[in-house]
Amino acid sequence: MHFDETLTYMAGLIRANPNITVRQLAKEMKFADGKSVYYWLGKSNFSGIREFKELILKEDFDNLEGVSIQENDKSMFLLRIPWRDWCGKSKETGARWFHFFHDNPNPRGLFTMTISTNDYYPWFSQDDQIIVNTTRQIRTGSWVLLKQGRYYFLGRAGADKNIYAPHSLQPYSLSVTKALGVIITLQRNLL
């Protein structure tokens, strides 16, 4: 199945909140009113929001397999990746998922986190969403997510294979600190 960018974004909003209304969709998508939601549904031959929601929320549609968009003549694929907690706490509601577009339809080793501190300002701010690739090789200049015990923190890879604290430029001890992966994407919420 191939959706255009508008319907793919709409599908992601519905997956995040199955009870979302047409008015809320219009607001999230920055449409003037709900008529625009119905316009885009009709353009893709959906009779209404109920039919579209039923398709999106079907069990066999759970992984949004095959949903893609064209961006600058390049295919981008909607992925669902695990959302980990910055503080290391498990969520009572169970697993959480994050949807985003990526140029590879089947990447391995991706997860996301929301940074819950301003300790890394100006590079990263509280509520920034980072996407981490655990399979990508750490290279000079890469931002790296690290973990010690239940605590996560960020560092920058140096040319000497050390990972440094960004403000103090002190190397982290990799004998007690584990490098989890390279930060490949930052999404900043400006609201």
Residue count of the chain, please give it: 191
C-alpha 141/C-alpha 134 separation (Å) is 16
C-alpha 6/C-alpha 25 separation (Å) is 11
CA angle (153 as vertex; 149, 155 as ends), nearest 5: 125
C-alpha 69/C-alpha 120 separation (Å) is 33
**Residue ranges in the chain whose pLDDT is less than 50:** 1-2, 59-60, 62-63, 65
Stated pTM of the model: 0.62
3-state secondary structure of 8: helix
- Write out pLDDT tens, residues 49-102: 988 888 877 744 544 545 666 667 777 777 778 888 887 665 555 567 787 777
Average pLDDT, the chain: 83
